[in-house]
Amino acid sequence: MTRAGVSLVLVLSVSAIPARAQEPPPPIPLFVVDVQGNVPRFPQDPILADSRGISLTELPGAGLGGQLGVHVYFFKFKAMTVGVGGQTIVARAKQTPPTDVQNQIKAVTEKFRSLGGQISLNFGSGTGWSYLSGGIGRSNWSIVPEGRKLLPGDEEVLKTINYGGGARWFAKSHLAFSFDVRLYAINPGVASLPGHSGSPRTTFMVIGAGVSLK
């Protein structure tokens, strides 16, 4: 190659670098599936404990669980993309008292199951974005001491509002790390035992983390 040819190649190579750097990032994809584990922070509420006929110290508190979400992104306005979808969650906590106090404190298992829709506002690009979302659904929340059958409050289906936010980062073209922090606001429940109150209107937090697929 002549000296002029080498010079031409160098000029073209240098001029191509800024052109590639100015390429816009890919848009948020049409749909995403989230698969996450979670940590629920169940409330320590004396009214909630009374609704099941147990003491405050018998409520389990934090637990573990999992959640699955499916979201579709169909409308973009300037820097914001609007999405709709749904999420199902299962979470569980168990409190097992030490052997020396098992005659005073009962082992209690707490379970929360919910299914609901969501509307989300998303900010970013297809390589990573953050979001705020909220929706409404139905939940079942049981708190059962060992050896006792389910009470009406443990089987009741309750209206539940969820709201929160999170983010997704795509290190690979179809796989991302994701996290979600969400509050669940649950309607009051029926009284399950004579002389005891029903479960109160309650809000608690669930922190989830896992992977997203697009």
Residue 60: predicted pLDDT: 92
The predicted model gives 106-111 an average pLDDT of: 92
* Cα Rg of the chain (Å, integer): 25
Residue 2: predicted pLDDT: 52
DSSP letters spanning 17-59: HHHHHTPPPPPPPSEEEEEEEEEEE----HHHHHHTT--GGGS
Number of H helices, E strands in the chain: 3, 8
CA atoms within 13 A on the CB side of 133: 31
Cα separation, 18 vs 95, in Å, equals 60
Cβ-Cβ contacts under 8 Å for 12 (sequence gap 6 or more): none
Residue 6: predicted pLDDT: 42
The predicted model gives 81-99 an average pLDDT of: 91
- Sorted by where each starts, the structural domains of the chain and their CATH numbers stand as 28-213 (2.40.160.20)
Q: What is the pTM of this model?
A: 0.85
Residue 13: predicted pLDDT: 45
Cα separation, 28 vs 125, in Å, equals 5
pLDDT in tens, 119-145: 999 999 999 999 999 999 999 999 999
Please, what is the average pLDDT of the chain? 88
Q: Residue ranges of the alpha helices (H) in 59-162?
A: 152-155
Residue at 142: amino acid letter: S
pLDDT in tens, 140-199: 999 999 888 999 999 999 999 999 999 999 988 899 999 999 999 999 999 989 999 999
Cα separation, 168 vs 161, in Å, equals 23
pLDDT in tens, 2-47: 554 444 344 434 444 444 456 788 899 999 999 999 999 999 999 9
Residue 24: predicted pLDDT: 81
